[in-house]
């Protein structure tokens, strides 16, 4: 096979065979295909697309560029949830303990925050001592002991994906449904799961701004998962405002504790129950999705989910004192209260902008090398549809930098639009596929 001829093939809109995709991925991983050829190929894939079998073959080659966790020794169903990412999206922290407490295994590989979105690993690492870099055998021990483990992508998992993702990032080839699909699925399949629940975010804070694109991505992910004989379901959910009320790493752990303790029942709670329900149903612990959701709620009410969370934190090296007594957590140097300058209904929250404000406060990173301040972030007191008078609190900003708090405040003020009449509310869960 000849690399230039293969690039030409895709450029001319033809479909690859599985062995051609394998040749490309394998040789790129081994350094035999240089970056400049692979980036031309990526652009051709982005512009000419890939069909279902090409996407499955791409996923397969990327998956097999590394190791697959062998969980066959653990009897029982293994399930994971994947979210395409947004602002304030901390459902993983709530779902994993709920589902594990029902007796379904949750081996979860998560990512870090980049640009306006947060990442589960960063949130977990805001808990002092918490380790997300467990080895395969350590992960398996934790999983066996408590039913869930939350780790990051190791060098052993889909190394081709890591290489390709870095190249896509700097060559304007991120926004390709087959490439996104293979990137997500190669990592998820490496977990050794039986089923997968997808949370595809749509709206101003999501990567997919339109519902049409979100459905296309969901469709591609579902087809690929099925071609690997995995059970799969996708929820298209709203990301036109932050999920829950807390944005920022420790602040999101804190809100997760409140939800797990049954103290708040907001949109974050509702979505977590929905997603956990689907996972419990896949794990055959309920006869219907409705029954599964009831079980999930029960696990929150009876305290078992929160207990499971403590267990996970403890087994992964985290200091549970901070979970039991969140108030002892270090405080930011500055807290600024943002108040409404006029009256009206909150009509719009530009969630991308809110994510960028949170990054400005120190809660996110622009490039991979940036350091995160776990204390930084935003607590919202109002959401879309709420009425505010002049002087009412909209949110509080947490940061160690006074100048950054001021610039973040400006960004927040710009991101929120008021209207005279109450806006019609967006559905939290727009579609189930």
Contact footprint for a copy of itself (CB under 8 A) = 4-5, 7-8, 11, 34-40, 42-44, 46-48, 167, 170-173
Minimum Å distance from CB 20 to a copy of itself?
A: 14
Separation between Cα atoms, residue 380 and residue 243, nearest integer Å: 10
Three-state DSSP state, 240? coil
Residue 233, beta-bridge partner list = 197
DSSP code of 262? T
Return all residues near 388 (Cβ < 8 A) that are at least 6 apart. Answer: 340, 343, 344, 345, 346, 382, 394, 418
What's the number of CA atoms in the CB half-sphere (13 Å) around residue 205?
29
Q: Is there a catalytic annotation at residue 161?
A: yes
Tokens linked to 274: 């929905």
User: Is 126 tagged catalytic?
Assistant: no
Kindly tell me which of 11 and 336 has the beta carbon lying closer to a copy of itself. 11
Q: Is 183 a catalytic residue?
A: yes
Compute the 3-state secondary structure of the chain and give helix, strand, coil in percent, each to the nearest 5.
Answer: 45, 15, 35
Of 42 and 234, nearer to a copy of itself (C-beta) is: 42
Residue 4 or 264: the one with the smaller Cβ distance to a copy of itself is 4
| Residue 399 burial by Cβ neighbours in a 10 Å radius (0-12, 13-18, 19+) | buried
**Residue with smaller CB distance to a copy of itself, 38 or 207:** 38
Which phi and psi angles does 22 have, rounded to 5°? -60, -45
Would you give the DSSP letter of residue 129? T
Active-site residue, from 65, 83, 110, 183: 183
Give the active site residue among 29, 112, 123, 168: 168
Residue closest to 81 by CA, chosen among 317, 283, 318: 283
Q: How far is the CB of 207 from a copy of itself (least distance, A)?
A: 14
Q: Considering the complex, state which of residue 43 and residue 217 has its C-beta at the smaller distance from a copy of itself.
A: 43
Nearest distance from residue 63's CB to a copy of itself, in Å?
24
14: annotated active-site residue: no
Q: Which is nearer to a copy of itself, 27 or 64 (CB)?
A: 27
Q: Mark out the alpha helices in 77-209 (DSSP H runs).
A: 91-102, 120-125, 136-146, 159-169, 177-189
200: three-class secondary structure by DSSP: strand
Q: Smallest gap, in angstroms, from Cβ of residue 174 to a copy of itself?
A: 9
CB of 4: closest distance to a copy of itself in angstroms? 5
Given 80, 122, 161, 373, the catalytic residue: 161
Q: How far is the CB of 359 from a copy of itself (least distance, A)?
A: 17
Token code pair at residue 216:
């296309």
Contact between residue 58 and residue 20 where contact means Cβ atoms under 8 Å apart? no
Distance in Å from the first CA to the final CA of the chain: 39
C-beta closer to a copy of itself: residue 99 or 163: 163
CA atoms within 13 A on the CB side of 334: 16
Among 123, 187, 382, 404, the one annotated catalytic: 187
Min dist CB 29 to a copy of itself, Å, is 16
Nearer to a copy of itself, 157 or 177 (CB): 177
Other Cβ atoms less than 10 A from the Cβ of 162: the count is 18
- Residues listed for the chain: 433
Closest to a copy of itself by CB, 167 vs 413, is 167
Shortest spacing between CB 9 and a copy of itself, in angstroms: 9
Residue 187 annotated among the catalytic residues of the structure: yes
Distance, in Å, from the CA atom of 258 to the CA atom of 237, rounded to the nearest integer, reads 22
Q: Report, in Å, the least distance between residue 39 CB and a copy of itself.
A: 4
- R_g of the chain computed on alpha carbons: 22
Burial per residue of 205-222, b for 16 or more beta-carbon CB atoms within 10 angstroms, e otherwise? bbbbbeeebbbebbbbbb
Q: Active-site positions?
A: 82, 161, 168, 183, 187
């Amino acid at each position: 096979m000849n690399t230039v001829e293969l690039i030409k093939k895709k450029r001319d809109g033809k479909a690859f065979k599985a062995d051609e995709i394998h040749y490309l991925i394998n040789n790129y991983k081994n350094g035999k295909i240089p970056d400049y050829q692979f980036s031309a190929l990526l652009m051709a894939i982005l512009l000419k697309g890939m069909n279902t079998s090409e996407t499955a073959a791409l996923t397969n080659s990327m998956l097999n560029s590394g190791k697959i966790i062998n969980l066959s020794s653990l009897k029982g169903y293994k399930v994971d949830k994947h979210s395409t990412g947004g602002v304030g999206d901390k459902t993983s922290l709530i779902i994993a303990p709920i589902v594990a407490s029902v007796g379904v295994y949750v081996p979860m590989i998560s990512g870090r925050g980049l640009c306006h979105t947060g990442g589960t690993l960063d949130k977990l690492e805001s808990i002092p001592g918490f380790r997300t870099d467990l080895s395969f055998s350590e992960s398996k021990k934790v999983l066996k002991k408590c039913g869930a483990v939350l780790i990051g992508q190791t060098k052993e998992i889909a190394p081709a994906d890591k290489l390709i993702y870095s190249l896509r990032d700097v060559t304007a080839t991120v926004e390709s449904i087959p490439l996104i699909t293979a990137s997500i699925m190669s990592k998820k399949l490496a977990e050794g799961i039986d089923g997968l629940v997808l949370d595809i975010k749509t709206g101003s804070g999501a990567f997919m701004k339109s519902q049409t694109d979100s459905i296309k991505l969901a469709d591609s992910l579902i087809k690929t998962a099925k071609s690997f004989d995995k059970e799969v379901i996708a929820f298209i959910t709203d990301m036109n405002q932050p999920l829950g009320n807390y944005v920022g790493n420790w602040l999101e752990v804190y809100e997760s504790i409140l939800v797990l303790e049954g103290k708040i029942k907001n949109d974050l709670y509702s979505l977590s129950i929905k997603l956990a329900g689907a996972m419990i149903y896949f794990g055959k612990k309920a006869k219907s999705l409705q029954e599964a959701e009831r079980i999930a709620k029960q696990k929150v009410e009876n305290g078992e989910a929160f207990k499971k969370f403590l267990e996970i934190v403890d087994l992964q090296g985290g200091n549970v004192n901070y979970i039991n007594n969140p108030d002892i957590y270090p405080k930011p140097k500055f807290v600024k209260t943002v108040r409404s300058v006029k009256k009206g209904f909150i009509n719009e929250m530009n969630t991308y902008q809110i994510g960028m404000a949170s990054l400005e406060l120190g809660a996110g990173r622009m490039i991979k090398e940036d350091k995160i301040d776990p204390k930084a972030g935003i607590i919202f007191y109002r959401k879309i549809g709420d009425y505010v008078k002049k002087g009412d609190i909209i949110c509080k900003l947490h940061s160690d930098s006074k100048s950054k708090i001021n610039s973040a405040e400006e960004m927040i003020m710009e991101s929120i639009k008021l209207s005279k009449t109450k806006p019609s509310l967006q559905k939290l869960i727009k579609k189930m596929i």
